[in-house]
């Protein structure tokens, strides 16, 4: 198991956004979180690399273990975020060149050698299946790329520090169908080397790419299990109502 979460509650001020979450996320598989807006799925994924620390008034109780280590214990948050990379809903490349976007994180973590940086940039872009498109445009501003390219660049950027885990918070919700297909294909390829947790609004997407699915409703984890099983024979009535489109 990559992540083990037990008895986790999360509050924004007085509002309880997650209620008693218990979940195990296996390594080298794709785990999808689905559910209607405001159900807490994004909140949960942001807890896995402590991005919630940035939100004022956010309080977490319970435990989240990554490879047996409590990430809310006494750990280096920056080292955690290096191990647990994140791709956001809206592509957010930095306003600098393609090359510098990728080299930013390795430089942050102490790599100075030009040769090594070149190597990392090429490898990350190759792993994100965008090297062929961008190899002649490394010096161009990342903001000049299309939305789909920007998002794959952001995936490459996340891969540049060789994380164990890749968290993806609705990575295709701002993209067109062709870009979405490319990203899905990429994600399937990446699970060989990374543990992937993806939040998605799109149930078909969860079916297409994920191995496990968790269904969230009003801050509760209603059902969690094998994707095929959850979508064909859901154990819970509320899951069935949601996936058959009765609400949501």
Interacting residues toward another protein by CB under 8 A: 49, 51, 54, 56, 78-82, 85-86, 88, 90, 92-96, 104-105, 108-109, 154, 157-158, 160-161
Distance in angstroms (rounded) separating the CA atoms of residues 231 and 188: 19
Residue closer to another protein by CB (options 169, 184) is 169
For residues 158 and 91, the answer to whether their CB atoms sit within 8 Å is: no
What is the smallest separation between the CB atom of 24 and another protein, expressed in angstroms? 24
Q: Which residues contact 106 (CB under 8 A, 6 or more apart)?
A: 116, 117, 120, 160, 161
What is the smallest separation between the CB atom of 108 and another protein, expressed in angstroms? 5
Q: How far is CA 210 from CA 26, 33, 60, in A?
A: 12, 9, 27
What is the smallest separation between the CB atom of 88 and another protein, expressed in angstroms? 6
What is the smallest separation between the CB atom of 48 and another protein, expressed in angstroms? 11
Distance in angstroms (rounded) separating the CA atoms of residues 59 and 61: 7
Q: Is 60 helix (H, G, I), strand (E, B) or coil?
A: strand
Residue closer to another protein by CB (options 124, 205) is 124
Q: What share of the chain is helix, strand, coil (3-state, %, to 5)?
A: 40, 25, 35
Residue closer to another protein by CB (options 41, 157) is 157
What is the smallest separation between the CB atom of 92 and another protein, expressed in angstroms? 4
Residue closer to another protein by CB (options 124, 227) is 124
Residue closer to another protein by CB (options 71, 203) is 71
């Amino acid at each position: 198991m990559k992540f083990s979460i037990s008895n986790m509650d999360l509050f924004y001020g007085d509002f309880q956004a997650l209620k008693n979450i218990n979940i195990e996320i296996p390594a080298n598989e794709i785990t999808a979180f689905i559910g209607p807006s405001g159900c807490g799925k994004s909140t949960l994924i942001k807890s896995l690399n402590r991005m919630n620390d940035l939100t004022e008034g956010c309080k977490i109780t319970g435990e989240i273990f990554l490879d047996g280590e409590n990430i809310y214990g006494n750990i280096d948050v920056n080292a955690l975020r290096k191990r647990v990379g994140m791709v956001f809903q809206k592509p957010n490349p930095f306003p600098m060149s393609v090359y510098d976007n990728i080299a930013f994180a390795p430089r942050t973590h102490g790599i100075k050698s030009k040769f090594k940086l070149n190597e990392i940039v090429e490898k990350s872009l190759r792993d994100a299946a965008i090297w062929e498109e961008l190899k002649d445009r490394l010096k161009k501003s990342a903001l000049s790329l299309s939305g789909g390219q920007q998002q794959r660049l952001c995936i490459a950027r996340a891969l540049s520090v060789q994380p164990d885990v890749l968290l993806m918070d609705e990575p295709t919700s701002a993209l067109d169908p062709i870009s979405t297909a490319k990203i899905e294909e990429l994600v399937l390829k990446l699970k060989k080397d990374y543990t992937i947790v993806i939040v998605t609004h799109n149930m078909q997407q969860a079916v297409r790419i994920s191995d496990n699915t968790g269904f969230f409703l009003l801050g509760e984890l209603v059902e969690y299990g094998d994707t095929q099983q959850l979508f064909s024979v859901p154990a819970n009535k509320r899951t069935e109502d949601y996936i058959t489109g009765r609400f949501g």
